[in-house]
């Protein structure tokens, strides 16, 4: 019965954790969607949507129109042929109207604003031509007048006499977006293109069925519509007979060069095709032709209601949450990627096939946000479980070892490997004297503060704290994770640890207690690193002769009155920029080869004099060694290393000829 209750309790606990994870994942997804929703109000978001529209326009534009439209461009060849400056005399436009009427044009639209009177004969000539020819639509516009109190819009209409003669007027203005690209349909109810489309349909005996739209459906880049120079319609024989029969003719400026711009104040706009690498500028008259086409053929685009996007996003939440919960991370990522691809493909299909503009950015971003939020929530739960596991193991072994054991559980066995590492031993001088004045609790408190200060430094430089031995710390670099700079990192840690001792010492002095200082020994060599112990209990440690030498170097600090002592093997792996002072050559117990020891030193003269003294001593140049030692003592009066070498120099000088002599000193004699 108890086993049944325990099983039921475990199942309930697991179910509760799953519910908690689902709720947390759902909350993360909702938060991610709120952030995406907030982003939709930014200018950057709108710019990205506009660029998407531009790319789809460039990809799906048919590069042609089924509408019989001709553009008569007032361009550079026209200026050269007519030898007229802009604006042309209105009698020239009158002659053009008569030529177009004679050629059977269905309707004519002038994307030119005839708002100001010129001379009476010229204005009368154009008015009479309008009255005699077929449907004519003239451009109107709106001008903004800024004042100190408000901004006023003024309608600029063609001369009334032209309207009285039978011309229609329509607003030719367009509304560019923030990036100055024209994408949206005109908001004016009586736009120029709409009026021209109506008049053209009426002239052909058709009932106008005009399809209203939200976005301009570009037929193609500049030059898609049949475009001829203005002068070609004026002079007989330049165009085939019957060329204008039943066609809609638009007249307007179309400039390409700087000269034309200055002459004609060219009517140019940015088009979506600039995003895809095409020509960016688009003549206003060709833009009006595009609008006429959209009204008559249904080529304009309508927006998909936003409600459908919200419904899709709502459906994506459970779908992608299920994928993150049930599928492998790679499978869940692939599923989210396929959803995004499907959204983009659907947007393209609606754009190309049904002239519907459904911006894919919101649903695609929502899909990515939902997947990311669900993945992060799942990752957070996994990380929390890993942290719990890590926290338990980290009480016994170094964090780097925990990381490796989590990544490679097969390493949880006895055994080791030979690795080159840099080993460190530390010890607190005068700690025994200090501990006699402290209670047991105060001693533990002091050691805890000491270890808490030193351990992070070791870990921060990539080292492993092997163990605490009383007031001593044993650490090493280069294992369990390989580190090509283990010697440099060990020395960096040693210097930082000495700096970290200063606040601890200051606190002891403030409490009236004896000061302590830390001694550090460093040595680089091969050691066996791994799990050592019994089947019931083992620890990750390093063993070998290199470990013993590092421990002895820590104790040798007493003889040299140094805080950090490192071997020549460690010094050899340090960058040349690391400033070290050579102190002496020592022979440790159990070894026959001497080891030169160093300590960090920033005094260049002292470093050079110490090295020169050692080299002269090795060469039996007693006088040279004495001179260099004098330099050392001048720079550092009472220096223990120099005084000790000076005593050995005196002893060497007093030795009888042929006596056995070694420049190194046994470490156990220091």
Note the pLDDT of residue 32. 85
pTM, entire model? 0.56
Contacts of 266 (CB under 8 A, 6+ apart): 253, 254, 255, 260, 283
Q: Is the distance from CB of 524 to CB of 419 less than 8 angstroms? A: no
Residue 484: give its domain's CATH number: 3.30.70.1230
Spatial distance between the Cα atoms of 170 and 155, rounded to a whole number of angstroms? 11
444 and 420 in a single domain? The answer is yes
**Interval 582-597 mean pLDDT:** 86
> Residues of the chain with pLDDT > 70: what percent?
87
Spatial distance between the Cα atoms of 286 and 260, rounded to a whole number of angstroms? 17
Spatial distance between the Cα atoms of 290 and 174, rounded to a whole number of angstroms? 12
Instruction: Evaluate whether residue 587 is within a structural domain.
Output: no
Instruction: Evaluate whether residue 636 is within a structural domain.
Output: yes
**Interval 118-131 mean pLDDT:** 94
232 and 337 in a single domain? The answer is no
Tens of pLDDT, residues 276-311: 666 778 888 999 999 999 988 888 899 999 888 889
113 and 213 in a single domain? The answer is yes
**Interval 3-30 mean pLDDT:** 65
263 and 355 in a single domain? The answer is no
Note the pLDDT of residue 147. 61
Note the pLDDT of residue 206. 75
The total number of structural domains in the chain stands at 4
Instruction: Evaluate whether residue 46 is within a structural domain.
Output: no
Note the pLDDT of residue 1. 40
Q: If pLDDT is split at 50, 70 and 90, which confidence band does 398 have? A: low
Which of 332, 360, 390 is the last residue before a domain boundary? 390
Q: How many CA atoms lie within 13 A of 664 on its CB side?
A: 15
Spatial distance between the Cα atoms of 608 and 175, rounded to a whole number of angstroms? 79
Average pLDDT, rounded, for the chain: 85
Note the pLDDT of residue 262. 46
Note the pLDDT of residue 493. 95
287 and 327 in a single domain? The answer is no
Q: Is the distance from CB of 555 to CB of 481 less than 8 angstroms? A: no
Spatial distance between the Cα atoms of 357 and 185, rounded to a whole number of angstroms? 13
Asked if the model's pLDDT at residue 663 lies above 90, the reply is no
Tens of pLDDT, residues 503-518: 888 888 888 777 788 9
Asked if the model's pLDDT at residue 75 lies above 80, the reply is yes
**Interval 108-117 mean pLDDT:** 93
Helix, strand, coil abundance in the chain, percent, nearest 5: 50, 20, 30
Note the pLDDT of residue 225. 93
The residue segments making up the domain with residue 98 are 58-303
Note the pLDDT of residue 462. 86
Instruction: Evaluate whether residue 287 is within a structural domain.
Output: yes
Instruction: Evaluate whether residue 593 is within a structural domain.
Output: no
Instruction: Evaluate whether residue 588 is within a structural domain.
Output: no
| Most confident stretch, 431-435, 590-594, 619-623 | 619-623
Asked if the model's pLDDT at residue 7 lies above 50, the reply is no
Nearest 10 degrees: CA dihedral of 319, 320, 323, 328?
170
196 and 133 in a single domain? The answer is yes
Helix, strand or coil, per DSSP, at residue 629: helix
413 and 549 in a single domain? The answer is yes
326 and 298 in a single domain? The answer is no
147 and 259 in a single domain? The answer is yes
Higher confidence at residue 590 or residue 316? 316
Which of 273, 303, 333 is the last residue before a domain boundary? 303
Nearest 10 degrees: CA dihedral of 76, 81, 83, 86?
-40
Tens of pLDDT, residues 336-393: 899 999 999 999 999 999 999 999 988 999 888 888 888 888 778 777 766 655 664 5
Spatial distance between the Cα atoms of 75 and 88, rounded to a whole number of angstroms? 12
Instruction: Evaluate whether residue 164 is within a structural domain.
Output: yes
197 and 343 in a single domain? The answer is no
Instruction: Evaluate whether residue 584 is within a structural domain.
Output: no
If you compute the radius of gyration of the chain from its CA atoms, what whole number of angstroms results? 45
Asked if the model's pLDDT at residue 395 lies above 70, the reply is no
Asked if the model's pLDDT at residue 145 lies above 50, the reply is yes
Note the pLDDT of residue 563. 94
Note the pLDDT of residue 176. 87
Q: If pLDDT is split at 50, 70 and 90, which confidence band does 22 have? A: confident
Note the pLDDT of residue 13. 55
157 and 205 in a single domain? The answer is yes
Which of 269, 303, 337 is the last residue before a domain boundary? 303
Tens of pLDDT, residues 153-176: 778 899 999 999 999 999 988 888
Q: If pLDDT is split at 50, 70 and 90, which confidence band does 425 have? A: very high
Asked if the model's pLDDT at residue 639 lies above 60, the reply is yes
109 and 255 in a single domain? The answer is yes
Asked if the model's pLDDT at residue 233 lies above 80, the reply is yes
Note the pLDDT of residue 391. 61
Note the pLDDT of residue 261. 42
Spatial distance between the Cα atoms of 341 and 10, rounded to a whole number of angstroms? 42
> Residues of the chain with pLDDT > 90: what percent?
40
């Amino acid at each position: 019965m108890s086993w049944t209750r325990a099983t039921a309790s475990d199942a309930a606990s697991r179910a509760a954790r799953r519910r908690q994870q689902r709720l947390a994942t759902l909350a993360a997804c909702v938060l991610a969607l709120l952030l995406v929703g907030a982003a939709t109000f930014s200018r950057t978001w709108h710019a990205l949507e506009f660029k998407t529209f531009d790319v789809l326009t460039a990809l799906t534009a048919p590069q042609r129109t089924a509408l019989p439209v001709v553009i008569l461009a007032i361009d550079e060849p026209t200026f050269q042929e007519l030898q007229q400056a802009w604006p042309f005399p209105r009698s020239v436009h009158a002659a053009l109207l008569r030529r177009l009427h004679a050629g059977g044009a269905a309707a004519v639209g002038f994307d030119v604003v005839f708002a100001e009177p010129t001379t009476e004969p010229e204005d009368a000539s154009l008015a009479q031509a309008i009255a005699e020819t077929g449907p004519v639509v003239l451009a109107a516009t709106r001008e903004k007048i800024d004042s100190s109190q408000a901004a006023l819009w003024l309608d600029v209409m063609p001369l009334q006499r032209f309207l009285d003669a039978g011309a229609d007027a329509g607003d030719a203005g367009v509304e560019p977006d923030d990036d100055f690209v024209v994408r949206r349909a005109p908001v004016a109810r009586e736009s120029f293109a709409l009026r021209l489309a109506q008049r053209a349909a009426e002239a052909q005996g058709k009932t106008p069925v005009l399809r209203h739209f939200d976005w301009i459906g570009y037929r193609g880049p500049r030059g898609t519509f049949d475009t001829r120079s203005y002068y070609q319609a004026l002079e007989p024989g330049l165009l085939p007979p019957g060329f204008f029969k039943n066609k809609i003719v638009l007249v307007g400026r179309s400039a390409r060069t700087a000269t034309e711009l200055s002459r004609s104040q060219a009517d140019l706009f940015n088009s979506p095709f600039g995003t895809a690498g095409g020509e960016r500028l688009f003549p206003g008259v060709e833009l009006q032709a595009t609008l006429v086409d959209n009204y008559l053929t249904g080529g304009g685009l309508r927006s998909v209601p936003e409600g459908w996007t919200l419904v899709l996003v709502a459906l994506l939440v459970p779908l992608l949450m299920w994928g993150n919960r049930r599928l492998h991370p790679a499978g869940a990522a692939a599923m989210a990627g396929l959803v995004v691809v499907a959204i983009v493909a659907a947007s393209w299909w609606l754009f190309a096939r049904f002239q519907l503009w459904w911006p894919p950015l919101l649903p695609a971003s929502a899909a990515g946000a939902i997947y990311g939020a669900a993945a992060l929530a799942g990752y957070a739960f996994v990380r929390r479980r890993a942290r719990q596991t890590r926290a338990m193991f980290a009480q016994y072994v170094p964090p780097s070892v925990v990381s490796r054991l989590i990544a490679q559980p097969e390493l949880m066995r006895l055994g080791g490997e030979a690795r080159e590492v840099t080993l460190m031993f530390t010890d607190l001088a005068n700690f025994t004297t200090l501990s006699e004045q402290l209670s047991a609790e105060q001693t533990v408190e002091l050691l805890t503060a000491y270890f808490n200060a030193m351990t992070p430094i070791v870990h921060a430089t990539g080292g492993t704290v092997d163990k605490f031995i009383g007031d001593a710390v044993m650490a090493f670099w280069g294992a369990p994770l390989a580190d090509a700079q283990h010697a440099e990192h060990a020395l960096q840690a040693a210097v930082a640890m000495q700096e970290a001792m200063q606040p601890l010492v200051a606190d002891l002095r403030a409490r009236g207690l004896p000061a302590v200082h830390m001694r550090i020994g460093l040595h680089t060599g091969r050691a066996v690193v791994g799990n050592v112990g019994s089947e019931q209990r083992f620890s990750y440690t390093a063993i070998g002769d290199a470990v013993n030498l590092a421990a002895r170097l820590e104790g040798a600090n007493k003889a040299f009155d140094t805080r950090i002592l490192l071997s020549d093997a460690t010094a050899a792996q340090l960058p040349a920029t690391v400033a070290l002072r050579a102190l002496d050559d020592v022979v440790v117990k159990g070894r026959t080869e001497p080891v030169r020891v160093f300590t960090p030193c920033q005094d260049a003269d002292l470093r050079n004099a110490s090295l020169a003294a050692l080299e002269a001593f090795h060469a039996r140049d007693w006088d040279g060694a004495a001179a260099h030692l004098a330099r050392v003592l001048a720079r550092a009066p009472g220096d223990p290393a120099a005084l000790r070498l000076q005593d050995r120099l005196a002893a060497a000088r007093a030795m009888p000829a042929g006596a056995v002599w070694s420049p190194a000193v046994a470490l156990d004699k220091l």
